[in-house]
Amino acid sequence: MFLDNAFRALDRQECLRLLAKVPVGRVVYTRQALPAVLPVNFSLDTDTSVLLCTSPDSDLVRAIDGVVIAFEADEFDADTRSGWSVVVTGRARVVTDPVEHERLSQSGPASWMPLRDAVFVRIESELVTGRELRGTPGLR
């Protein structure tokens, strides 16, 4: 049984508000011509792009720099069968401008892994989509 009011699409502003609430998402990209998904911590920049902080030598950086990718984050509660999911699609680019890199070193995301020389990756929020599932108590 599916109730029409149990599901709704989210507009761009709602999606960005929800993304700002969670610290971890997933980068969806292509590795050796196959789909790959990697969980990462992130933050949103003032221009609503998704920011990652990682190693300049990582396989991820080599695979996504200059490429259109997807980024997904969500939050769900299995007990109430409710939650949301947001997908950002856009071009990923390593931040190379020294002034921008310095700004992000102060205000951007910090890697959860110890890094010697961190780089920032910006994922443009060209397409932002999301959906919310409201709980349906009593259904099993």
pLDDT digits (tens, 9 = 90+) for 42-62: 999 999 999 999 999 899 999
Angstrom distance (rounded) from CA 92 to CA 76: 27
In a domain, 124, yes or no: yes
0.85 exceeded by pTM: yes
Q: Is residue 57 part of a domain?
A: yes
Q: Six-digit token pair at 43?
A: 């933050």
The region, left, alpha or beta by phi > 0 then psi within -120 to 50, assigned to residue 79 is: alpha
Residue 140 lies in a domain: no
What is the number of structural domains in the chain? 1
Once rounded to an integer, what is the mean pLDDT over residues 9-15?
A: 97
Question: Above 70 in pLDDT, residue 127?
Answer: yes
pLDDT tens digits, 68-103: 999 999 999 999 889 999 999 999 999 999 999 999
Contact 16, 87 (CB under 8 A): no
**Does residue 133 surpass a pLDDT of 60?**
yes
- Helix or strand or coil: residue 101? helix
- Is 139 within a domain? no
| Average per-residue pLDDT for the chain | 91
Q: Are strands 7-10 and 34-41 parallel, antiparallel or unpaired?
A: unpaired
Q: What is the pLDDT of residue 114?
A: 81
Q: Give the CATH number of the domain where residue 70 resides.
A: 2.30.110.10
pLDDT of residue 48: 94
Residue 99 C-alpha from the chain's centroid? 24
pLDDT score of 140 more than 80: no
82 belongs to a structural domain: yes
Q: Residue 45: what residue type?
A: D
Confidence of residue 34 (pLDDT cuts 50, 70, 90): very high
Sign of CA dihedral 54, 58, 64, 70: negative
- Provide the residue range defining the domain that includes 23: 4-133
